[in-house]
Amino acid sequence: SSNGGSRNATTAADWQDYWFSINPAQLSGGLARLAAFFHSPLFTASLTSREMYAVDSENKRNLQNDSRRAFQIDKALSVPGHPWTKFGTGNVASLTEAAKKKLEVEGIHVADGEKPDGDGGPVGREVRRRLIEWWEREYCAGRMALAVVGKGMLDILCIQISVLTDIVHRID
């Protein structure tokens, strides 16, 4: 990136981790962009659709990963019906299943293998609607923690962080 940084995210069974690195002089702006992700995410239709396929691609890549296979065996051998037994990552089928069922109930038939529009078509739009509904229900500042490692003076870092956490907490 033009600010000398990188970013990524990790989702585990009971937590999500979002991280980035950036040139120290750009930290304040980078923190503001990170906070915006939580208090006012874009959830554009095209990016939601693109992310569904990114999740599917990651899942396909993991199918040959032995540690992932062992993880799924552990889940499959757990107490039937317990939330732990649910599918751990996601793919296009699992991400669109509920949306397709809802559309079928409404009389909108979506053929398997149908090429969706840039926004994912009717299924993608329903997935996006459900994603926003889930975000509104599940994302809250009280469940989050923030850790910052920086080269700046601690007092300055604390001021930069407190301004942003006030913004996120107001949404909570």
CA distance 137 to 143: 12
Q: What angle do CA 13, 17, 19 make, to 5 degrees?
A: 160
CA distance 97 to 95: 6
How high is the pLDDT of residue 108?
87
How high is the pLDDT of residue 112?
65
Mean pLDDT in residue range 131-145: 84
- The closest of 138, 90, 92, 137 to 116, measured between CA atoms, is 92
Buried b vs exposed e over 19-42: b needs ≥16 C-beta within 10 Å?
ebebeeeebbebbeebbeebeeee
Would you say residue 80 has pLDDT above 70? yes
How high is the pLDDT of residue 129?
92
89 or 149: which carries more pLDDT confidence? 149
* pLDDT tens-digit map of 94-107: 889 989 999 999 99
Would you say residue 119 has pLDDT above 60? yes
Q: How far lies 88's CA from each of 2, 19, 118, 134, in Å?
A: 35, 21, 27, 17
Residue that has been written with the tokens 């979506």 in this structure: 110
Strands (E), the chain: 6-11, 16-21
Task: Determine the 3-state secondary structure of 23 from DSSP.
Answer: coil
User: Computed from CA positions of residues 19, 119, 135, 91, in that sequence, does the dihedral angle turn out positive or negative?
Assistant: negative
Would you say residue 149 has pLDDT above 60? yes
How high is the pLDDT of residue 130?
92
Tokens standing for 62? 């993991």
Residue that has been written with the tokens 């396909």 in this structure: 60
158 or 87: which carries more pLDDT confidence? 158
